[in-house]
Structure 1
Amino acid sequence: MPRRTDLSAVPLLGRTVAPEGSGLVLAEWEAAGRTTDEVAWQAPLHVHHTDDEAWYVLSGTLRLNIDGEFYDVPAGSGIVGPRGVPHTFGNPSEEPARYVLVMSATTQAMLTELHNGFSGDVAALFEKHGSTLLS
C-alpha cells in the first residue's frame, strides 16, 4: 500500500479533518449556551438517508432528539445518530458545549454549503445531499 502524504494531526477546534477522498470527516465545534429557557438547537430536525453521524462531548452537555427520544449527553460521553432516523441536537445549558462530530463527507459538503452564505431553498439543499429536512 502506498504511503499517504496528505495526513497530519492538526488542532481541531473550529475545523474539519478529512484526507482527500476520505468518506469520513472529523470536526470539533462549540455549541453556544442557551440564552432563554429553550434548548439552543444547532440544527433543524432532519434525516440522513444513507449516512450515520456520531457525537462525542468534550465539555458541557448536548441534548439529542433521536427519533423522538431525548438524550442528554454529558462530557466524556458519545452517541450515534443512525442513518434513516430523524434527529437534531442542541445545548440545553447556559454554558457552551464542545464536541467532536464524526460525519460523512456528504454531510460535510451540505454543511459547508449551508454555512457559506447559502440563501436558497434549504429543503432542496438537504435533498441534494441525501437528507430530508423535517422542520
Structure 2
Amino acid sequence: MAEWNAEGTPEGETPMLMAPLHLHHEDDEAWFILEGTLGFQIGDETIEANCNEAVIVPHGTPHTFWNPKQEPARYLIIMTKQTKTLIEAIHSTSDRSSETMKKLFAQYGAELL
C-alpha cells in the first residue's frame, strides 16, 4: 500500500492520466480516496470516486485513472508486490519509449494497451 497525491487539473484542460491504459494479468488493484476526487476508466465504464470512497479493479480489466478536479487529490493505492515492483521499475528507467514500457509491463505480468 502507498499513499500518493494527484495534482489538480487546471480549468479547461484535459486531465493528465496517472497511468497509461493497462491491465494486470494476475493482480487486482484498489484505491481509497483520502481527499479530493479521482476519475477512472475501468473497462468500458468511466466513474469518479470521491473522498472516503474506494475503487477495485479486478485483474484482466483495462484501466487508468486521473484527477478530474482543480483541487489536488490524495489517495491510497493497494497493490501486490509484483505491481509495486513494476511501478518502481517504471520510475527508475530513463527510457520511456513505447517499446521499453511494453517490455517492462510484460516482465511484471501486465500489459500496456
Give your verdict on TM over 0.5: yes
After TM superposition, the structure 1 = structure 2 runs for residues 15-94 of structure 1, keeping only pairs within 5 Å, are 26-35=1-10, 36-94=12-70
Deviations 1:94-121 (A, max 9, x none): 1110000000100000100111234160
Distance 2:44 2:36 in 1: 22
Q: Where does structure 2 lack aligned partners over 5 or more consecutive residues?
A: none
2:106 match: 127
Give the aligned residue type for 2:110: S
Distance 1:81 1:88 in 2: 10
- Percent identity (aligned): 39
> Which one has the bigger helix percentage?
2
Aligned-pair Cα RMSD in Å: 1.1
Indicate if the aligned counterparts of 1:48 and 1:131 stay in contact, CA closer than 8 A: yes
Distance 1:76 1:118 in 2: 35
Distance 1:61 1:92 in 2: 7
**Over 6 Å off, 4+ runs:** none
**TM (normalized to structure 1)?**
0.77
Query: What is the aligned length?
Result: 109
